Amino acid sequence: MLVLGAFVIPSLGLGASLQIQITPKVSGDNLQPASFRYQTSAGETFSITRLSYLVSDFALQRNDGSWLELSNSVAWLDFDANRNSIRLEKVPAGEFCSVRFLVGLNPNLNHADIAGFPAGHPLNPSLNGLHWSWQGGYIFLALEGLWRNAAGQLDGWAYHLARDLNATRITLAAPLLITNQTKLELDFDLATLLNAPRPLSFRQDGSSTHSRPGDPVAATLVANLPGAFRVRRIVQLSATEIAIAQPPPLYLPAKFTPYEFQMSATFPLPNLPRDNPLLVERVALGKTLFFDKQISINNAQSCADCHLSEKAFADNRRTARGAQGEIGPRNTMPLFNLAWKREFFWDGRAKNLREQVLQPIQNPIEMHQSLTNLVFKLVSTGLRPVVSGVASETVGAHSPQSLSDEPARPSVTPPSGATPDGTGGTPVLPQKSDYPALFATAFGSPEITPEKISLALENYLLTLTSFNAKFDRVQRGEEKFTAEEQRGFELFSTEYDPRRGQFGADCFHCHGGSLFQSQSFANNGLDLAFKDLGREQVTGKTADRGKFSVPSLRNVALTAPYMHDGRFATLAEVIEHYSTGLQRSATLDPNLAKHPDGGVPLSAADQRALVAFLNTLTDAKFEVGAAR
Ligand code: HEC
Ligand code: HEC
């Protein structure tokens, strides 16, 4: 039996286990995301696009009335991520009559140091996307969607239940005979949550809440929550143990130096691949490959020619230009803090970096190189490059600083005649390639394979971490914001909710947290009709049309032009977009759709303040090319 999407509490021995699965329902039927089939009791038609929440502090009641607390039980459940259950291990066998848990967290957990949660832990903010960042604590329940307002227009709604006082206890009678493996299936009815006993109407009660003290919407949600859960059935499972296979490290050399991964103490712990541990030797090889033009078909382009280390590894082109001059459809993405990402590219089509890095190599409008050909070139003795005048300049700018004692390999210039791709050029005398030796140090044997190339590049990319901007120094109390930057930060991290006296620019919902990035995809209102379908191309769902990966705003001053197609030349233009340019298509994110037409109204001075704040996110290391 496999528990999909659940956080597995490590099993310390053989004990009985209880799996609790919670299925979101609406009036008894399975939730249909993004479908306008629902109505509030005030008759407003609405859809639900996001349900993400935290449950914790599970306890079981014995027949004598006493409670067995299952300590450290916490789960992040999310409809989109297909996470719907929690598995409780080492539960003593026996009979129980009720189960209880919190929707939300107790104050200790809610205010725990987020940097202490390992990758994959349900409270790791980069996993769950529910942390309030600078405001402290988590959103316990995020429920969002769109609704049709009185004028028939699409509007967003976003109910975010947070703050200690709103953690809500659910107690359900459940006659459990816990023997070996038992599964308790619960339903969570969102119609009840929005309607009973207290009905909510987006028009009358407001289409958003952030649970500030005294907020009536939050109070209604808290009142409705206990009735929204019910027991569907109890299942006794087979005794099959769940093996949590940890993949062993791939190709570990006999001698290696572990690489010291650097990050900010305020970052959540990243999910580093266990089968590709960071080794100084492997990082060095990855870096050499990253800066080597042989990676492209005509030896004209390295990864670093699009990902410039002095531009936070982006370029300043609207859209990328390939080795043979072709112009691609998308803006080059900057490369840093990739260790916290789970999906790569603007549309998230690559699930991990090692899969990602092989794509630009083979992409016909990028490096256009077959992997067989690449391996041949790297192995071949005849292909040690001659560095020409033009290229030695490039070597100056991009030459790899090998972290090992192995000789670094320079970027290269046009090819010898010996390539199987038939590109001509002056034949060079066969010379020994450095690569087999570099692969041997990094992987324990000199064979070069596409897999090893991808593992080395993955190692290198994971080491590009950015965490030392003025913003970080201000957070650490080492520097001070100017008044304008401070105003920008307030706008950035405050919601726009006039009904409750909040007039911020509401950026933190998507770009919040210490990484300035939610690991998600959103439509930020660029278009009404989409030339590039974005996320829909990957998922096939129309509900994902026009959604793109939410970019980190760290180093954003270095990465103009902006957006997946590079349509905005300056940050001022970006802010103007969020203030006056929002396009209301069907998939516009509810957190933006809830704003007035056009976007959050911002004065010219406030727009400048936001730009000033964004300029404090630049890490000098990523500006001078030192971050390699
Ligand atoms: C022709 C320019 C170009 C070259 C060469 C290039 N890239 Fe990229 N890179 C891009 C573009 C454009 C994107 C976004 C593409 C998309 O979303 O479809 C991107 C995206 C990425 C991403 C995803 C980042 C994220 O946050 O999701 C990584 C990682 C990356 N490139 C690494 C590499 C590596 C490694 C190489 C060399 C093997 C390389 N790139 C070569 C232009 C280039
Ligand atoms: C609903 C989520 C959401 C909200 C709220 C939001 N953004 Fe974005 N932002 C995105 C997405 C998604 C993109 C990328 C869109 C694309 O390229 O198609 C983006 C792109 C950007 C970019 C361009 C970054 C780059 O590297 O190209 C900047 C700058 C930016 N946002 C700033 C802001 C500011 C400032 C605010 C508040 C006024 C804000 N965003 C509010 C989702 C959001």
Nearest ligand to the CA atom of 367: 1
- Determine the Cα–Cα distance for residues 497 and 206; give it in Å rounded to an integer: 9
What's the average model confidence in pLDDT over 351-371? 92
Looking at the structure, tell me whether residues 329 and 415 fall in a common domain: yes
Instruction: Indicate which atom in ligand 2 lies nearest the CA of residue 564.
Output: 17
Q: Residue 421 above 70 pLDDT? A: no
Q: What is the pLDDT of residue 431?
A: 56
Distance of CA 87 to the CA centre of its chain: 24
Q: What is the pLDDT of residue 237?
A: 62
Same-domain check for residues 100 and 197: yes
Q: What is the pLDDT of residue 404?
A: 34
Cβ neighbours of residue 296 under 8 Å, at least 6 residues apart? Answer: 302, 323, 361, 366, 367, 368, 369
Question: Which residue, chain included where needed, has tokens 């947070």?
Answer: 162
What are the C-alpha distances in Å from 51 to residues 3, 40, 304, 388? 19, 17, 40, 57
d(CA 317, CA 332): 8
pLDDT, residue 608, reads 97
Buried b (16+ CB within 10 A) or exposed e, 532-544: bebbbebbeeebb
What confidence score (pLDDT) does residue 134 get? 66
**pTM (whole model) above 0.85:** no
- The pLDDT of residue 261: 87
224-267 tens-digit pLDDT = 999 999 998 887 665 443 333 346 788 999 999 989 888 887 88
Ligand whose nearest atom lies closest to the CA of 577 = 2
* Ligand 1 in reach of 530 Cβ (< 6 A): no
Residue 274 resides in a domain: no
Burial classification of residue 66, based on how many CB atoms lie within 10 Å of its CB (0-12 exposed, 13-18 middle, 19 or more buried): exposed
User: What is the rounded end-to-end Cα distance, in angstroms, of the chain?
Assistant: 44
pLDDT-derived band at 534 (thresholds 50, 70, 90) equals: very high
Regarding whether 312 and 333 lie in a shared domain, the answer is yes
Q: Is residue 552 predicted with pLDDT exceeding 90? A: yes
In this structure, are 435 and 480 located in the same domain? no
Grade residue 15 by pLDDT with cuts at 50, 70 and 90.
low
1, pLDDT greater than 80: no
Centroid of ligand 2 to alpha carbon of 435 (angstroms): 41
Instruction: Fill in the amino acid letter for 6.
Output: A
Which residue did the predictor score with more confidence, 553 or 293?
553
User: Would 260 be classed as within a structural domain?
Assistant: no
- Closest-approaching ligand to the CA atom of 609: 2
Under the banding of pLDDT at 50, 70 and 90, the label for residue 122 is very high
The pLDDT of 577-596, averaged and rounded, is 95
CB 335, CB 313: distance < 8 Å: yes
Q: Does residue 531 sit in the same domain as residue 420?
A: no
Q: How far does the centroid of ligand 2 lie from the alpha carbon of residue 540, in Å? A: 23
Mean per-residue pLDDT, 469-494: 95
For range 410-435, the mean pLDDT: 44
Q: Is residue 291 part of a domain?
A: yes
From 439, 462, 485, the end of a domain falls on 462
What is the per-residue pLDDT for 418? 34
At which of 437, 462, 487 does a domain end?
462
Residues 6+ apart with CB under 8 A from 199: 40, 41, 42
**Count of all residues that appear for the chain in the document:** 628
Does residue 413 have a pLDDT over 50?
Answer: no
Between residues 12 and 283, the one the model is more confident about: 283
d(CA 174, CA 184): 8
Q: Which atom of ligand 2 is nearest to the CA of 492?
A: 37
Residue listed under structure tokens 């949600």: 221
Q: Is the pLDDT of residue 14 over 80?
A: no
Same domain, 569 and 611: yes
State which amino acid sits at residue 489: F
Range 225-255 burial, b when 16+ CB lie within 10 A, else e: beebbebeeeeeeeeeeeeeeeeeebbeeee
Same-domain pairing of 447 and 546 = no
- On whether both 170 and 40 belong to a single domain, the answer is yes
pLDDT tens-place string over residues 298-329: 888 999 999 999 999 999 999 999 988 899 99
89, 72 Cβ separation under 8 angstroms:
no
Q: How far apart are CA 49 and CA 413, in angstroms?
A: 51
Mind listing the pLDDT tens digit for each residue in 34-75? 889 999 999 999 999 999 999 999 999 998 999 999 988 999
The tokens for 371 are 């992997």
Of residues 127 and 228, more confidence is placed in 228
- Single out the residue of 619, 618, 532 nearest to residue 571, CA to CA: 618
- Kindly tell me if the per-residue pLDDT of 358 is higher than 80: yes
Please name the residues in contact with 370: beta carbons below 8 A apart, sequence gap of 6 or more.
362, 421
Residue bearing tokens 């382009």: 301
Average pLDDT over residues 400-429: 35
d(CA 285, CA 438): 6
Q: What is the CATH number of the domain that holds 285?
A: 1.10.760.10
Which residue's entry shows tokens 């619960």? Answer: 186
Burial of 190 by CB count in 10 Å (0-12 exposed, 13-18 middle, 19+ buried)? buried
Closest CA relative to residue 78, chosen from 312, 342, 310 = 342
Structure tokens belonging to residue 411:
């970027």
Q: Are 251 and 452 in contact (CB under 8 A)?
A: yes
pLDDT band at 420; cut points 50, 70, 90: very low
- pLDDT, greater one: 406 or 195: 195
The residue whose C-alpha atom lies closest to atom 18 belonging to ligand 1 is: 345
Token pair in block for residue 310:
């002095």
pLDDT in tens, 375-387: 988 888 534 543 3
Given a contact cutoff of 8 angstroms between Cβ atoms, the answer to whether 374 and 380 are in contact is no
* C-alpha dist (Å) from residue 39 to 24, 229, 562: 17, 20, 38
Whether residue 412 is predicted with pLDDT greater than 70 in this model: the reply is no
- Residue 31 CA to residue 53 CA, distance in Å, equals 15
Arithmetic mean of pLDDT over the chain = 85
**456-465, 493-502, 521-530: least confidently modelled range:** 493-502
The arithmetic mean of pLDDT across residues 363-371, rounded, is 91
Instruction: Give the lowest-confidence range in 93-102, 184-193, 417-426.
Output: 417-426
Residue 7 domain-assigned? no
Burial of 452 (0-12, 13-18, 19+ CB in 10 A): buried
Domain that holds residue 82: 16-237
Whether 514 and 393 map to the same domain: the answer is no
With respect to residue 447, please indicate whether it lies within any of the assigned structural domains: yes
Asked if residue 159 and residue 40 are part of one domain, the reply reads yes
Tokens matching residue 308: 């410039």
Burial class (CB in 10 A: 0-12, 13-18, 19+), 524: buried
Q: Is residue 593 part of a domain?
A: yes
Among the candidates 462, 496, 511, a domain finishes at: 462
210 pLDDT tier (thresholds 50, 70, 90): confident
Same domain (yes/no): 519, 380: no
Name the residue at shortest CA distance from atom 40 of ligand 1: 303
The per-residue pLDDT for 5 is 26
Mean pLDDT of 196-205: 93
Spatial separation of the C-alpha atoms in residues 142 and 190, rounded to whole Å: 12
* C-alpha closest to that of 241 among 84, 89, 122: 89
Structure tokens at 508: 């933190």
As a whole number, mean pLDDT of residues 334-344 equals: 95
Span from the CA of 502 to the centroid of ligand 2 (angstroms): 20
Does 3 map to a domain? no
User: Do both 492 and 600 map to the same domain?
Assistant: yes
CB atoms within 10 A of CB 388: 13
Count structural domains, the chain.
Answer: 3
152: confidence class by pLDDT, cuts 50, 70, 90:
confident
Ligand nearest to the CA of 347: 1
Reading the block at residue 350, the tokens are 């690559």
Cis status, amide bond into 596, omega within 30 of 0 = no
Residues with CB under 6 A from ligand 2: 505-507, 509-511, 522, 524, 526, 548, 550-551, 553, 556, 559, 562-564, 571, 574-575, 578, 589, 591-592, 610
How does pLDDT run across 85-95, given as a tens digit for each residue? 998 888 888 88
What is the mean pLDDT of the segment spanning 447-455? 95
For residue 381, the tally of other CB atoms under 10 A from its CB is 12
Please name the residue that has the structure tokens 């969102």.
190
Identify the band that residue 449 occupies on the pLDDT scale cut at 50, 70 and 90. very high
Is residue 431, in this structure, part of any structural domain at all? yes
